[in-house]
Each structure stands twice: as C-alpha cells, then as structure tokens.
Chain A
Amino acid sequence: MLSGIDYFIVITYIIGMLLLGLYFKKFVNSSEDYFLGGKNLPFWAIGMSIVVSDIGALDFVGVSGQAYRYGISVGNFDWVGSVPAMLLAAFIFIPYFWRGGMYTIPEYLGRRYNKSVRTIASVTWILFFALDLGVLFWASAVLLNVLMGWPIWVSIISMAGVVGLYTYFGGITAVIMTDVVQFIIMFIGGFALVVLCLYEVGGWDSMVDKINNIGPQYQSHFEIIQPQNTKSPFPWTGILFGLTFVMANAYMIGNQAIVQRCLTAKNEWHAKASMIFGSALKMFIPILVLFPGLMAVVVHPGIADGDQALPLMIKSILPPGLIGLMFAAFFAGLMSSVDSLLNSTSTLFTKDIYEPFIKKGATDKHYLKVGQVTTLVLLLIGVATSPISSDFPGIYVAIQTFMSYFQGPIFAILLLGIFWKRTTQWGGLSALVIGIGFAIYLNVFKERFFTIEDPFLYISWWSFLLSAIINVAVSLLTKKHTAEELQGLVFNSKILVENKKL
C-alpha cells in the first residue's frame, strides 16, 4: 500500500521526533523540570498537547467507523463532550491546582480529603494507565500490520524505543513539544484526507443528499441530537447527563494525563488559556476523524465492518506522499498517547506512592531518577504485556469500561471538594468507595437496568449521583474541616461579588 515516498515520510517523521525529543534532555535538571517542565511552558503548546494526546491512532479508525454507522452524533464527544468541561476546568479547577503547586490530581484529593482517597485515586489511575499502555501498543501494532504490512513486534519495539527514549530523558517538556509537531502533522494529514474526500463526493451538499437518499437507516445521520429511545449508544439523555455533566468533566478535570499538562504552564493565565485554546482546537477534531467516515457511506456503501471505512478511504483516495503523511498522523496519534501515559504514570507513582510511602525526604535528584526509572519500567511492562491483548480481544473495551466505573465517583468528590467546604474526608472516602462499587454493580447487571446496548453514559451519571449524595450525607454526619485545613483548596465565591463592573 505504501510507496517509496510514503516510507520516506514516515521514517523521517519518526527519526525527527526522536531527535526533537532528545533535544529537551538539556532542560531537565530537577524533578520539577521532569514532571512539570520547570513550570515554564506556553499556553499554545500545552493546548495542542492536550488535544493530540486525546486522539490516538485507534480513534481515527474507531470514530470514523462509528460515524459510518451512526452519523454525526458521534461528534458530541468532541463538542459538548469537551468544550463545557474544558471551560469549567480552565476557570475553576486549574487555577487551584496550579496555585497549589500540585503535581497530581490525587495530591489535591489528598490535601482536600485524606491520604486514603489520594492513594485509591492514584493506584486506580496507575493500574489503568499501565494496562492501557500494553493494549495501546498491541492494538496500534495490529493496525499498522493491517495497513502497512509491518510485523507486529517491529512496530511495538520501534515505537517503544523512540517514545521511551525521549520521554525518559526529556520528561514532560519533550512530551509536550513533540506533541506540538505531532498535532501539526495530524492536522495536515487529516485535513488533506477530508478535502480530497469532499472533492470525491462532490462537496458537502452533494454528500448530504446522497446519504439521505440511500435509505431510511441513514435518515438520522445528520442529526446531532438523537432521541431518547434511539438504538444508537448516543441518546440525548445519555449525552447530556452522562457525557456532558459527568464523563467529560471527569476526563478533563480528573485525568492526570490532561491536567498535568496545564500545571506546566509558566503562569496562571497560561494555565487557564491552555485549556480554552485546547477547547477551540478540539472543535476541529470531528472534522478530521468523523467526516471521512461519513463520506465513506457515499464512496463505499454497505461495508459490514464500519471500522474499515477509514482504511478504505485512504486506500482509494489519497495519492502517494499524502498516504505517508496520513500514516505519520497515525504515528503521531499513537506516540502522543504513549508518551502521555508514560509520563503521567511515572508522576503518579513517584509523587503519590514512592515519596509518601517508600522514601520520604530524599533529595530532588533521587526523585528525578525514580521518575526516569519508573518511565523505563512502565515501558518494559507495556511491551511485555502487550501480547495479552491478542489472547483477550475484548480487553480494550474491558479497560475502558473499568475506567468508566471510576469517572462518576471521582468527579463527584472533586466537584463537592472544590465547591462545598462542608465536605469531609469521610464523606469523600465513602463516596469514592461506594460510588465505584455501585458503578460495578450497575455494569454487571446492566441487562436488568438498561435498555440500550452499551449504557456506560448512564452508568457514569447514576454512580456520580449516588456518590454525591453519599458524600453530602456522610459529610454532614462527620466532623468538618477547619478553615486552615481548607486554605487554597475550596473555591471562594467572593470573587464573583467583588466584580464591581457587574
């Protein structure tokens, strides 16, 4: 499928990323440099990094496939499922995390609630990220094997080598600055495909007419709001309650891989601006990952497996050279996801587990070394465990489901923790434990409770709601925290009434 020029582009890109990442080694002299980039990065780089880390190679294929099957409603995940949450993060949560000099989200939870909440949250994220790493390696290698014919282990080892090297030496600065280039490559490759696809189908209006005329099953392909009783996994009720109110916020506010980037900002304004800039860029993502799937309905109607939509479009539409660029975009998605997982997991382990439980009061150089060694160990674990995915094909879905157990409860305790000073450590702890248990219960007996096939949006909402109720009830029954304990950890509503211009 690839010509000589395509291979040249892909290999040049990979080598370029390695060299660029290694260049940032010289800026790493302390653990703050390694985990927070010396708190010296600009908003635009962080904003691009947030967006590109969120889009992996698998998303290109998966979202195009869902767009092929369900239409434009898939775009909800990047539009209403991102923008409001990113604004909430930018204006409320990020300033508190940034001012507090925090490294991790569990660190905030530890200060606001107690050590147990911090440890549960941190261990859960570490487990999720570590498992995800192996699965990501394997799934992406299989994708590259299908699309490019590369042997699976060549893909895994070359990818692990390149990403591992620059993440090990350059820390989060290397991660973010390589993400900037990866973002640009991804956008150029993605937009080239969209423009050529649009030309192929005769323009937007022509595509809409053709899809609407194919048959009744495509009548709702251009309706972003799906009815409550839709057969698709995206009814508007799930999008509003599960996605907009809970999962999006949990992801943008409670996800270490996202928030850690904002904490690298050179000042509070840059920290806030990075999220808002990221939200603006995020609105373009559906154009890149969703539109090719829609256009495939016209060019290749009747595909049994929607996930074949994007590969078929690339094969049939892109000329040599641009195919290479598109594959470089795939690599960009993969590399940015892997480097984020590595750096974030290393930060969580070093700051939330190693420092408080294994070796307190060591030198900064020691923690820097621990962070680097953890990155290396994680990489080896990721490579070694990646074949597990071939034995358990459903493991990717299983890991994502596991994460959805956690989203509602974690957002409930973050939200109440920052907005309600009466929330206590026991309220937070019981909400987290009972909320996760309830989410697991709902998922195990989902056929009993839900009518749609994959009710993860509903599960996240109901587990959020129960966690919030438990948090309030237990907090009211237990001893409240003192004003000193809450200093700098709870949103101060006085800033609103102090605005003289209103």
Chain B
Amino acid sequence: MFNFDWLSDISQETAKIIFLCLYAVIGLLVLLLPNEYIYQGMVKENRHWWNNLKLWAIAVLSILAAIYSHF
C-alpha cells in the first residue's frame, strides 16, 4: 500500500492525462476567483487586463501543460 502498488496498472499515458487534468482543474479554480479579489491592493485606475493575475496564472499553467504534453 505504501508504494502505491494498487496504481501499478495505470499506464504512463494515463498518468500524463491525470497531470494534465490537474492543471485544467487548477486553471478552472483560478478562473472562479473574483476580479475584486485578484486586484486587491491595486487602485481602480491602474487595473488593466495585463495586470489581471488570473491571466498570468493561466499563461503559466498553459506552458506547463504544453511541456507535459510534449514530453
């Protein structure tokens, strides 16, 4: 049990899909966060799409997913 033998039937391809799903779930959770929370601390006049941290996070997750899809 401690060695996760019960997961030995899962292939590497399936494992890769599990990782990709994990990134998708994280991305979805990030999108659920309200903009007010994301921009907290920044004055209203300075709030632009390029300092929307949700977009930053999605961009990082997309690159990560691309790396895992490729290798």
Binding site for B on A (CB under 8 A): 72, 75, 79-80, 83-84, 87, 90-91, 95, 222-229, 235-238, 240-241, 244, 267-273, 276-277, 279-280, 283, 442, 449-452, 455, 458, 462, 495-496, 498-499, 501-502
Contacts and interface: CB of A to CB of B under 8 A. Distances in A.
A222 B71 contact: yes
B12 A236 contact: yes
A495 B68 contact: no
Contact of B60 (A72, A87, A269): A87
Nearest to B10: A228
Which among B59, B60, B61 has the greatest number of chain A C-beta atoms within 10 A?
Answer: B60
A236 B7 CA distance: 10
Main SS of the interface on chain B?
A: helix
Nearest to B59: A280
A350 B35 CA distance: 37
B7 A228 contact: yes
A269 B12 contact: no
A402 B38 CA distance: 37
Given A223-B71, A277-B56, A283 B19 contact: no
5 contacts: A87-B61, A225-B15, A240-B19, A268-B40, A495-B34
B67 A280 contact: no
A271 B41 contact: yes
B7 to A, nearest CB: 5
Given A277-B56, A501-B35, A462 B2 contact: yes
B19 A80 contact: yes
A267 B41 contact: yes
B61 A83 contact: yes
Contacts of B35: 499, 501
Interface residues of B, number: 39
A87 B26 contact: yes
Interface in B1-33: 2-5, 7-8, 10, 12, 15-16, 18-19, 22-23, 26, 30, 32-33
Interface of B: 2-5, 7-8, 10, 12, 15-16, 18-19, 22-23, 26, 30, 32-42, 51, 53, 56-57, 59-61, 63-64, 67-68, 71
Contact of B33 (A225, A238, A283, A499): A499
B64 A80 contact: yes
Contact of B22 (A227, A237, A244, A269): A244
Contact of B53 (A75, A225, A276, A496): A276
Contact of A224 (B18, B23, B36, B68): B68
Contacts of A279: 60
A452 B3 CA distance: 8
A495 B15 contact: no
Contacts of A83: 60-61, 64
Given A223-B12, A495-B37, A228 B32 contact: no
B32 A267 contact: no
A228 B22 CA distance: 18
A462 B3 CA distance: 10
A27 B47 CA distance: 29
B64 A276 contact: no
A449 B42 contact: no
A90 B64 contact: no
Contacts of B61: 83, 87
A449 B39 CA distance: 47
A272 B56 CA distance: 11
Given A273-B56, A280-B63, A499-B32, 17 more contacts: A91-B57, A227-B15, A228-B5, A237-B4, A240-B22, A267-B41, A268-B40, A272-B38, A273-B51, A273-B53, A276-B56, A283-B64, A283-B67, A449-B3, A458-B3, A458-B4, A499-B33
B40 A269 contact: yes
B40 A79 contact: no
A90 B67 contact: no
B52 to A, nearest CB: 10
B71 A228 contact: no
Contacts of B2: 442, 449-450, 455, 458, 462
Nearest to A449: B2
Nearest to B8: A228
Contacts of B34: 495-496, 498-499, 501
Which among B5, B15, B18, B51 has the greatest number of chain A C-beta atoms within 10 A?
Answer: B15
B60 A283 contact: yes
Given A87-B57, A268-B41, A450-B3, A236 B64 contact: no
Given A276-B57, A276-B60, A72 B71 contact: yes
A247 B37 CA distance: 27
A496 B30 CA distance: 10
Contacts of A240: 15, 18-19, 22
B12 A79 contact: no
A152 B56 CA distance: 44
A79 B68 contact: yes
Contacts of A223: 12, 71
A283 B41 CA distance: 27
B24 to A, nearest CB: 12
